[in-house]
Amino acid sequence: MRARGAAAAGRPSWRRAEARAALMFLAPGLFIVGVFFLIPVASAFLLAFTDFDIYALADPRNVRIVGLTNFAGLLRNPVFWTALRNTLFFVLLGGPLTVTVSLAAALLLDAKTARFKSFFRTVYFAPFVTTLVAVATVFRFLYHPRFGLLNQFLRVLHIPTVDWLGDPRWAMPAIVILAVWKNFGYNMIVFIAGLQNVPESLYEAARLDGAGPWRRFRHITVPMLAPTFLFVGVITMIGYFQLFAEPYVMTRGGPLNATLSMALFMYQQGFRWWNMGYSAAIAFFLFLLILAATLLQLWLQRTRRA
Protein backbone atom coordinates (compact mmCIF):
# COMPACT_ATOMS: atom_id res chain seq x y z
CA MET A 1 0.00 0.00 0.00
CA ARG A 2 2.85 2.36 0.82
CA ALA A 3 4.46 1.98 -2.63
CA ARG A 4 1.13 2.62 -4.27
CA GLY A 5 0.59 5.68 -2.18
CA ALA A 6 4.01 7.04 -3.13
CA ALA A 7 3.42 6.42 -6.81
CA ALA A 8 0.14 8.22 -6.71
CA ALA A 9 1.51 11.08 -4.61
CA GLY A 10 2.11 13.36 -7.56
CA ARG A 11 -1.42 12.98 -8.89
CA PRO A 12 -4.29 15.18 -7.88
CA SER A 13 -6.06 13.80 -4.86
CA TRP A 14 -9.36 13.19 -6.67
CA ARG A 15 -7.67 10.67 -8.93
CA ARG A 16 -6.30 8.83 -5.95
CA ALA A 17 -9.74 8.71 -4.42
CA GLU A 18 -11.13 7.44 -7.69
CA ALA A 19 -8.51 4.72 -7.88
CA ARG A 20 -9.35 3.67 -4.35
CA ALA A 21 -13.02 3.59 -5.19
CA ALA A 22 -12.30 1.53 -8.29
CA LEU A 23 -10.28 -0.90 -6.23
CA MET A 24 -13.11 -1.20 -3.74
CA PHE A 25 -15.58 -1.92 -6.50
CA LEU A 26 -13.23 -4.49 -7.98
CA ALA A 27 -12.41 -6.06 -4.64
CA PRO A 28 -15.32 -8.49 -4.49
CA GLY A 29 -14.63 -9.66 -8.02
CA LEU A 30 -10.91 -9.97 -7.41
CA PHE A 31 -11.57 -11.81 -4.18
CA ILE A 32 -13.85 -14.30 -5.89
CA VAL A 33 -11.45 -14.80 -8.80
CA GLY A 34 -8.60 -15.24 -6.34
CA VAL A 35 -10.33 -17.70 -4.05
CA PHE A 36 -12.21 -19.71 -6.62
CA PHE A 37 -9.84 -19.53 -9.56
CA LEU A 38 -6.26 -18.46 -8.90
CA ILE A 39 -5.68 -20.41 -5.69
CA PRO A 40 -7.20 -23.68 -6.98
CA VAL A 41 -5.31 -23.41 -10.26
CA ALA A 42 -2.03 -22.69 -8.49
CA SER A 43 -2.54 -25.52 -6.01
CA ALA A 44 -3.49 -27.95 -8.77
CA PHE A 45 -0.29 -26.98 -10.56
CA LEU A 46 1.76 -27.63 -7.43
CA LEU A 47 -0.15 -30.87 -6.82
CA ALA A 48 1.12 -32.21 -10.15
CA PHE A 49 4.63 -32.34 -8.69
CA THR A 50 3.62 -34.35 -5.62
CA ASP A 51 2.44 -37.92 -5.08
CA PHE A 52 -0.72 -36.85 -3.23
CA ASP A 53 -2.74 -40.06 -2.92
CA ILE A 54 -4.95 -42.09 -0.63
CA TYR A 55 -2.25 -42.24 2.05
CA ALA A 56 -1.99 -38.45 2.05
CA LEU A 57 -5.63 -38.30 3.10
CA ALA A 58 -4.70 -40.13 6.28
CA ASP A 59 -1.81 -37.84 7.09
CA PRO A 60 -0.47 -34.86 5.08
CA ARG A 61 3.07 -35.90 6.03
CA ASN A 62 2.68 -38.78 3.62
CA VAL A 63 2.90 -36.41 0.65
CA ARG A 64 6.22 -36.43 -1.15
CA ILE A 65 7.53 -33.99 -3.72
CA VAL A 66 8.33 -36.14 -6.73
CA GLY A 67 9.30 -33.60 -9.38
CA LEU A 68 8.42 -34.77 -12.86
CA THR A 69 7.75 -38.41 -11.94
CA ASN A 70 4.01 -38.05 -12.57
CA PHE A 71 4.65 -36.72 -16.06
CA ALA A 72 7.18 -39.46 -16.84
CA GLY A 73 4.73 -42.07 -15.55
CA LEU A 74 2.01 -40.58 -17.72
CA LEU A 75 4.08 -40.93 -20.88
CA ARG A 76 4.79 -44.56 -20.03
CA ASN A 77 1.14 -45.40 -19.33
CA PRO A 78 -0.57 -47.01 -22.34
CA VAL A 79 -3.99 -45.91 -21.03
CA PHE A 80 -2.87 -42.29 -21.25
CA TRP A 81 -2.05 -42.71 -24.94
CA THR A 82 -5.41 -44.38 -25.50
CA ALA A 83 -7.15 -41.44 -23.84
CA LEU A 84 -5.12 -38.98 -25.90
CA ARG A 85 -5.91 -40.82 -29.13
CA ASN A 86 -9.62 -40.98 -28.26
CA THR A 87 -9.74 -37.29 -27.41
CA LEU A 88 -7.97 -36.26 -30.61
CA PHE A 89 -10.28 -38.52 -32.63
CA PHE A 90 -13.28 -36.89 -30.98
CA VAL A 91 -11.99 -33.35 -31.54
CA LEU A 92 -10.84 -33.91 -35.11
CA LEU A 93 -14.02 -35.70 -36.18
CA GLY A 94 -16.59 -34.00 -33.96
CA GLY A 95 -15.24 -30.44 -34.23
CA PRO A 96 -15.36 -29.97 -38.03
CA LEU A 97 -18.60 -31.96 -38.20
CA THR A 98 -20.28 -29.70 -35.63
CA VAL A 99 -19.11 -26.55 -37.41
CA THR A 100 -20.26 -27.89 -40.79
CA VAL A 101 -23.67 -28.97 -39.54
CA SER A 102 -24.23 -25.71 -37.68
CA LEU A 103 -23.20 -23.64 -40.73
CA ALA A 104 -25.52 -25.67 -42.95
CA ALA A 105 -28.40 -25.18 -40.52
CA ALA A 106 -27.64 -21.47 -40.26
CA LEU A 107 -27.60 -21.10 -44.07
CA LEU A 108 -30.93 -22.91 -44.34
CA LEU A 109 -32.51 -20.74 -41.68
CA ASP A 110 -31.04 -17.56 -43.15
CA ALA A 111 -32.33 -18.32 -46.66
CA LYS A 112 -34.96 -15.89 -47.80
CA THR A 113 -37.33 -18.61 -48.89
CA ALA A 114 -37.25 -20.36 -45.49
CA ARG A 115 -40.49 -20.29 -43.53
CA PHE A 116 -41.24 -20.78 -39.80
CA LYS A 117 -37.72 -19.53 -39.09
CA SER A 118 -38.12 -18.87 -35.39
CA PHE A 119 -39.78 -22.26 -34.89
CA PHE A 120 -36.87 -24.14 -36.47
CA ARG A 121 -34.36 -21.95 -34.70
CA THR A 122 -35.89 -22.94 -31.38
CA VAL A 123 -36.11 -26.60 -32.30
CA TYR A 124 -32.46 -26.75 -33.41
CA PHE A 125 -31.33 -24.84 -30.37
CA ALA A 126 -33.31 -26.96 -27.90
CA PRO A 127 -30.78 -29.85 -27.62
CA PHE A 128 -28.12 -27.40 -26.51
CA VAL A 129 -30.10 -26.35 -23.46
CA THR A 130 -31.41 -29.82 -22.61
CA THR A 131 -29.83 -31.65 -19.68
CA LEU A 132 -27.21 -34.05 -20.93
CA VAL A 133 -28.21 -36.87 -18.62
CA ALA A 134 -31.73 -36.87 -20.06
CA VAL A 135 -30.39 -36.69 -23.61
CA ALA A 136 -27.94 -39.51 -22.94
CA THR A 137 -30.72 -41.72 -21.61
CA VAL A 138 -32.78 -41.16 -24.74
CA PHE A 139 -29.75 -41.82 -26.93
CA ARG A 140 -29.08 -45.06 -25.09
CA PHE A 141 -32.51 -46.18 -26.30
CA LEU A 142 -31.80 -44.99 -29.83
CA TYR A 143 -28.51 -46.88 -29.81
CA HIS A 144 -29.92 -50.07 -28.33
CA PRO A 145 -28.59 -52.96 -30.43
CA ARG A 146 -31.97 -54.70 -30.82
CA PHE A 147 -34.76 -52.28 -30.11
CA GLY A 148 -33.01 -49.03 -30.95
CA LEU A 149 -34.51 -46.82 -33.62
CA LEU A 150 -31.19 -46.48 -35.40
CA ASN A 151 -30.70 -50.21 -35.87
CA GLN A 152 -34.32 -50.72 -36.91
CA PHE A 153 -33.72 -48.13 -39.56
CA LEU A 154 -30.56 -49.96 -40.71
CA ARG A 155 -32.52 -53.23 -40.78
CA VAL A 156 -35.12 -51.69 -43.08
CA LEU A 157 -32.33 -50.66 -45.44
CA HIS A 158 -30.78 -54.16 -45.19
CA ILE A 159 -27.57 -52.74 -43.80
CA PRO A 160 -25.87 -54.84 -41.08
CA THR A 161 -26.76 -53.48 -37.68
CA VAL A 162 -24.22 -52.05 -35.27
CA ASP A 163 -23.89 -52.48 -31.51
CA TRP A 164 -23.38 -48.76 -31.12
CA LEU A 165 -22.22 -48.46 -27.53
CA GLY A 166 -20.97 -52.02 -27.09
CA ASP A 167 -18.59 -52.29 -30.02
CA PRO A 168 -15.22 -50.63 -29.35
CA ARG A 169 -15.04 -49.49 -32.99
CA TRP A 170 -18.42 -47.77 -32.97
CA ALA A 171 -18.68 -46.40 -29.43
CA MET A 172 -16.69 -43.25 -30.13
CA PRO A 173 -18.48 -42.44 -33.40
CA ALA A 174 -21.74 -42.89 -31.48
CA ILE A 175 -20.55 -40.34 -28.91
CA VAL A 176 -19.56 -38.00 -31.75
CA ILE A 177 -23.06 -38.19 -33.24
CA LEU A 178 -24.59 -37.37 -29.88
CA ALA A 179 -22.20 -34.46 -29.30
CA VAL A 180 -22.78 -32.98 -32.75
CA TRP A 181 -26.54 -33.19 -32.34
CA LYS A 182 -26.34 -31.71 -28.85
CA ASN A 183 -24.01 -28.82 -29.63
CA PHE A 184 -24.63 -27.59 -33.17
CA GLY A 185 -27.54 -25.38 -32.09
CA TYR A 186 -25.35 -22.92 -30.23
CA ASN A 187 -22.92 -22.51 -33.12
CA MET A 188 -25.85 -22.19 -35.48
CA ILE A 189 -27.14 -19.15 -33.59
CA VAL A 190 -23.68 -17.57 -33.73
CA PHE A 191 -23.50 -18.24 -37.47
CA ILE A 192 -26.96 -16.76 -38.05
CA ALA A 193 -25.85 -13.60 -36.27
CA GLY A 194 -22.74 -13.54 -38.47
CA LEU A 195 -24.76 -14.07 -41.64
CA GLN A 196 -27.09 -11.22 -40.78
CA ASN A 197 -24.11 -8.90 -40.60
CA VAL A 198 -23.06 -9.61 -44.19
CA PRO A 199 -24.23 -6.55 -46.22
CA GLU A 200 -26.87 -7.49 -48.77
CA SER A 201 -25.25 -5.07 -51.25
CA LEU A 202 -22.25 -7.39 -51.63
CA TYR A 203 -24.51 -10.25 -52.79
CA GLU A 204 -26.39 -7.92 -55.16
CA ALA A 205 -23.14 -6.69 -56.71
CA ALA A 206 -21.91 -10.26 -57.13
CA ARG A 207 -25.20 -11.33 -58.67
CA LEU A 208 -24.96 -8.47 -61.17
CA ASP A 209 -21.45 -9.67 -62.03
CA GLY A 210 -22.92 -13.10 -62.77
CA ALA A 211 -21.70 -15.02 -59.69
CA GLY A 212 -23.72 -18.18 -59.00
CA PRO A 213 -24.80 -19.35 -55.53
CA TRP A 214 -21.65 -21.41 -54.93
CA ARG A 215 -19.29 -18.57 -55.86
CA ARG A 216 -21.28 -16.09 -53.80
CA PHE A 217 -20.94 -18.49 -50.83
CA ARG A 218 -17.25 -19.14 -51.47
CA HIS A 219 -16.17 -15.55 -52.07
CA ILE A 220 -18.57 -13.48 -49.96
CA THR A 221 -20.13 -15.57 -47.19
CA VAL A 222 -17.02 -17.50 -46.16
CA PRO A 223 -14.60 -14.52 -46.02
CA MET A 224 -17.17 -12.32 -44.29
CA LEU A 225 -17.76 -15.05 -41.70
CA ALA A 226 -14.03 -15.45 -40.95
CA PRO A 227 -14.21 -13.92 -37.44
CA THR A 228 -17.28 -16.03 -36.69
CA PHE A 229 -15.47 -19.15 -37.89
CA LEU A 230 -12.58 -18.37 -35.59
CA PHE A 231 -14.85 -17.89 -32.59
CA VAL A 232 -16.92 -20.98 -33.29
CA GLY A 233 -13.84 -23.07 -34.06
CA VAL A 234 -11.96 -22.13 -30.92
CA ILE A 235 -14.94 -22.44 -28.59
CA THR A 236 -16.00 -25.80 -30.04
CA MET A 237 -12.48 -27.15 -29.91
CA ILE A 238 -11.89 -26.10 -26.31
CA GLY A 239 -15.20 -27.63 -25.33
CA TYR A 240 -14.54 -30.86 -27.20
CA PHE A 241 -11.07 -31.35 -25.75
CA GLN A 242 -12.77 -31.48 -22.36
CA LEU A 243 -15.12 -34.29 -23.40
CA PHE A 244 -16.38 -35.82 -20.17
CA ALA A 245 -20.10 -35.98 -19.48
CA GLU A 246 -21.14 -37.92 -22.61
CA PRO A 247 -18.88 -40.96 -22.05
CA TYR A 248 -19.26 -40.67 -18.26
CA VAL A 249 -23.02 -41.06 -18.54
CA MET A 250 -23.26 -43.39 -21.53
CA THR A 251 -20.28 -45.74 -21.45
CA ARG A 252 -18.15 -44.92 -18.39
CA GLY A 253 -15.16 -44.93 -20.74
CA GLY A 254 -15.77 -48.43 -22.11
CA PRO A 255 -15.93 -50.70 -24.02
CA LEU A 256 -12.24 -51.54 -23.66
CA ASN A 257 -11.44 -47.88 -22.95
CA ALA A 258 -12.70 -46.96 -26.44
CA THR A 259 -14.46 -43.84 -25.17
CA LEU A 260 -12.04 -42.96 -22.39
CA SER A 261 -11.30 -39.26 -22.87
CA MET A 262 -8.52 -37.27 -21.23
CA ALA A 263 -10.93 -35.61 -18.84
CA LEU A 264 -12.54 -38.93 -17.93
CA PHE A 265 -9.11 -40.50 -17.42
CA MET A 266 -8.23 -37.58 -15.17
CA TYR A 267 -11.45 -38.04 -13.23
CA GLN A 268 -10.86 -41.78 -12.81
CA GLN A 269 -7.32 -41.29 -11.58
CA GLY A 270 -8.38 -38.48 -9.27
CA PHE A 271 -11.67 -39.60 -7.84
CA ARG A 272 -11.69 -43.33 -8.39
CA TRP A 273 -8.14 -44.18 -7.35
CA TRP A 274 -7.50 -40.89 -5.56
CA ASN A 275 -4.14 -40.37 -7.29
CA MET A 276 -4.53 -36.61 -7.05
CA GLY A 277 -0.95 -35.76 -7.97
CA TYR A 278 -1.10 -37.93 -11.06
CA SER A 279 -4.51 -36.55 -11.94
CA ALA A 280 -3.24 -32.97 -11.65
CA ALA A 281 -0.43 -33.85 -14.05
CA ILE A 282 -3.05 -35.02 -16.57
CA ALA A 283 -4.93 -31.75 -16.07
CA PHE A 284 -1.77 -29.79 -16.70
CA PHE A 285 -1.07 -31.78 -19.85
CA LEU A 286 -4.61 -31.25 -21.10
CA PHE A 287 -4.24 -27.52 -20.47
CA LEU A 288 -1.05 -27.41 -22.54
CA LEU A 289 -2.73 -29.39 -25.30
CA ILE A 290 -5.70 -27.01 -25.47
CA LEU A 291 -3.43 -23.99 -25.34
CA ALA A 292 -1.30 -25.32 -28.20
CA ALA A 293 -4.33 -26.20 -30.32
CA THR A 294 -5.88 -22.76 -29.74
CA LEU A 295 -2.68 -20.94 -30.64
CA LEU A 296 -2.38 -23.09 -33.76
CA GLN A 297 -5.88 -22.16 -34.80
CA LEU A 298 -5.31 -18.45 -34.19
CA TRP A 299 -2.07 -18.61 -36.16
CA LEU A 300 -3.74 -20.45 -39.06
CA GLN A 301 -6.48 -17.85 -39.20
CA ARG A 302 -3.94 -15.02 -39.18
CA THR A 303 -1.81 -16.49 -41.96
CA ARG A 304 -4.89 -17.10 -44.06
CA ARG A 305 -5.97 -13.50 -43.68
CA ALA A 306 -2.48 -12.13 -44.42
**Contacts with other proteins, residue ranges (CB under 8 A):** 51, 53-55, 57-59, 62, 64, 73, 145, 163, 165-168, 252, 254-256, 271-274
CA–CA distance, 121 with 119 (Å, rounded to integer): 5
For other proteins, the closer of residues 18 and 204 by Cβ is: 18
The least CB distance from residue 60 to other proteins, in Å, is 12
Q: Are 247 and 260 in contact (CB under 8 A)?
A: yes
For other proteins, the closer of residues 59 and 209 by Cβ is: 59
The least CB distance from residue 87 to other proteins, in Å, is 20
For other proteins, the closer of residues 8 and 249 by Cβ is: 249
Nearest in space to 174 (alpha carbons), one of 94, 232, 233, 99: 94
For other proteins, the closer of residues 25 and 299 by Cβ is: 25
Q: Identify the sign of the CA torsion 221, 222, 223, 228.
A: positive
Q: Are 100 and 84 in contact (CB under 8 A)?
A: no
CA–CA distance, 302 with 234 (Å, rounded to integer): 14
For other proteins, the closer of residues 61 and 158 by Cβ is: 61
For other proteins, the closer of residues 86 and 183 by Cβ is: 86
The least CB distance from residue 75 to other proteins, in Å, is 13
The least CB distance from residue 165 to other proteins, in Å, is 8
CA–CA distance, 198 with 108 (Å, rounded to integer): 15
The least CB distance from residue 91 to other proteins, in Å, is 24
The least CB distance from residue 46 to other proteins, in Å, is 17
Q: Are 251 and 171 in contact (CB under 8 A)?
A: yes
